[in-house]
Amino acid sequence: MSASGGPGVGHPLGVRRLRIAVLVKTNAGGMWLLPQVEELRHRGHEVTVVLPAGNGRLTDELERRGFEVLDSPYDFTMGRYAPVGLLRLRALLRRLSPDVVQYHLIASAYAVRLATLAMPVRRVHMVAGPAYLESRLVRSVERLMWRLDDLLVCGCRYASARYGELGCPPQRRPVAVYGVDTDAFSPDATGPDQRAKLRAELGIDQSAFLAVMVSYVYPPRRLVHSGRGVKGHDVLLAAWRTFRRRHPDAHLLLVGGGWTAAGESYRRHLGESFGVADDPGVTWVESVPDVRPCYAAADVSVAPSLCDSPMAAVEAGSMGVPSIVSAAGGLPEAVTGRSGWVVPRADPTALVDALEAAYRGWVAGTLTLRGRLARQHVLASFDDLRAAAEVADLVEDVAARRR
User: Does residue 200 sit in the same domain as residue 169?
Assistant: no
pLDDT band at residue 289 using 50, 70 and 90 as cut-offs: confident
Instruction: Say if residue 359 is in the same domain as residue 394.
Output: no
- What local confidence, expressed as pLDDT, does residue 2 receive? 35
Same domain, 361 and 292: yes
109, pLDDT greater than 70 = yes
User: Would you tell me how many other CB atoms lie within 10 Å of the CB of residue 363?
Assistant: 12
Number of domains forming the structure of the chain: 2
Determine the average pLDDT of the residues in 246-254.
98
What is the distance between the alpha carbons of residues 288 and 286, in angstroms, rounded to a whole number?
7
Residues 212 and 121 in one domain: no
Same domain, 226 and 120: no
Residues 225 and 237: their CA atoms lie apart, in Å, by 18
pLDDT greater than 70 at residue 361: yes
Domain match, 360 and 395 both:
no
Residue 56, domain CATH = 3.40.50.2000
Q: Is 185 within a domain? A: no
Nearest in space to 124 (alpha carbons), one of 31, 24, 14? 24
For residue 90, is it within any domain? Answer: yes
Tell me which DSSP letter residue 158 carries. Answer: H
* Per-chain mean pLDDT for the chain: 92
Per the DSSP assignment, residues forming a β-bridge with 124 are: 102, 151
Residues 265 and 175 in one domain: no
What's the angle, vertex CA 260, arms to CA 266 and CA 305, rounded to 5? Answer: 55
Span 311-344, pLDDT tens digits: 989 999 999 999 999 999 999 999 999 999 999 9
> In this structure, is residue 277 part of a structural domain?
yes
pTM of structure: 0.89
Q: pLDDT at position 225, please?
A: 67
pLDDT over 90 at 44, yes or no: yes
The pLDDT of residue 28 is above 90:
no
Say whether both 298 and 327 belong to one domain: yes
**Res. 403: pLDDT tops 70:** no
Q: Is residue 91 part of a domain?
A: yes
SS3 content of the chain, % helix, strand, coil (to 5): 45, 15, 40
Are residue 132 and residue 161 in the same domain, yes or no?
yes
Q: How confident is the model at residue 3 (pLDDT cuts 50, 70, 90)?
A: very low
Q: What residue numbers bound the domain in which 110 lies?
A: 19-179+383-400
Q: Indicate if 318 and 213 belong to the same structural domain.
A: yes
pLDDT at 77: 85
User: What integer pLDDT is reported at residue 5 of this predicted model?
Assistant: 39
Please report which confidence band the pLDDT of residue 402 belongs to, taking 50, 70 and 90 as the band edges: low
- Domain contains 14: no
Are 138 and 23 in a shared domain?
Answer: yes
Is a pLDDT exceeding 90 seen at residue 1?
A: no
Whether residue 5 is contained in a domain is answered as no
What number is the average pLDDT over the span 216-239?
Answer: 86
Band (131; pLDDT cuts 50, 70, 90): confident
Q: Which pLDDT score is estimated for 222?
A: 72
pLDDT of residue 228: 83
The neighbouring-strand residues paired with 127 are 154
Residue 43 lies inside a defined structural domain of this protein: yes
Which pLDDT value is given to residue 152?
97
Sign of CA dihedral 222, 226, 232, 235: positive
**Overall average pLDDT of the 256-284 stretch:** 94
Nearest to 306 by CA among 223, 210, 250: 223
Q: Are residues 36 and 146 in the same domain?
A: yes
pLDDT, tens digit (0-9, with 9 covering 90-100), for 294-313: 999 999 999 999 989 999 89
| High-pLDDT (> 90) share of the chain, % | 84
Is 210 a member of any domain?
yes
All residues at 6 or more sequence positions from 215 whose CB lies less than 8 Å from its CB, including other chains:
231, 233, 255, 256, 303, 305, 312
Q: Is the pLDDT of residue 114 over 90?
A: yes
